[in-house]
Structure 1
């Protein structure tokens, strides 16, 4: 926690916050701009710390851990209800900080999407919090109501791209945007099969590699590509860690903004984990051939 606090305290107030305020729209109403008890960097640190703590609910984490044991690091701690109100102002800084934590493309990338349910299917009719943003979608395990989290990672488990869409968005629609800064080969499941998408990515310098469906003709692939397709589960492991360790998916949100704050903070927390799922294939004699 102290290491995270020092990092945010440098990045947010000194580098990001002054530039961010220059682009904010001014309100016609007079507003006081006094310094709050908690600065923006402290709010972000507490949120990211929650996803690294192992607690399943933020309320228990804040009441039972932060308020009891973290006052030396955060002297201006506020009540739980007040902290929840302050979270909305950290969404844009968290998104910007997440992009600064992305890894480097090595020529071997994996793409996948996972559902983020906001309520049980039986409560879809009565759910109001995310009614303007969420949508019904379908995965291989059934229907859900909420969002899709699209991820691109490299062979070391580092995030390369993130996009959040409604649950009814086709996985293939977001690939060109996520692959904009990639090169080499991009491995995905059968849900990404599309000849127009393959050709579009090929023009961008990216080769899309997927398995074929049962009703499709088999195609010859290099042995290395076949081995990497079998290792595509690495990105499913990342999704599993985000949901079961970082707690990015739950149905207790009462604010759409706080929902996205929790989700982005969980992604930022993942980038700080020392042990990420990795293929351990970065050999000097192998990687240049893969990139080429």
Structure 2
């Protein structure tokens, strides 16, 4: 297989090419995020790994596309594109925060479609049976901005949304939609994935504890690993964490590729 066999779509965007990838890692952004959330991280991977990201509607070059308010519908559409890729593409999936839930539901659909997912990485999100108690998507813009400030590594960078109404008008509709998707999501029980899962959590994440991340173990019939990092909810954006994060993912994918060769 060569990278030319991989076709980008409205949903799937190439972030890092590779002439002969042993694995293709597909990354799902957090709520309010876009494919560029993984641009820097993607470039840290060495040879053998091609990286694609998901571009949700309602942001960047998809600003005019209709928002999708149901998390499971997002998974339906993304899985359809992944299932259209050549069957010999070795596929792994990474998702952070809301992206972890979309990634999980997508993995369920990809497996049901007869494709193997070599590994699922779920980051910064409790296991699927967790139900969000809040309803930020029904509240005022102030609540959404305050939540962004709480979760951000740099709260000052978020406060511009208070001072620039035109920017808020661009950013907040997609964010509100994504909070709706997460806050209304209800897991439908089924067979555990055949895909191994690694759950990643940070020590100071106000949204997810290590105990909640550990509960992902019940959602796979294969191997499970829990990895902990320093930092808050967006620990993966911290330069000091990225080498260790990429090393963990790369080592895991290398081991998977070795077992399948």
Q: Same fold (TM over 0.5)?
A: no
Q: If you compute each CA radius of gyration, which structure gives the higher value, 1 or 2? A: 1
Higher relative contact order (CA 8 A, sep 6+): 1
TM-score, normalised on structure 1? 0.27
TM-score, normalised on structure 2? 0.29
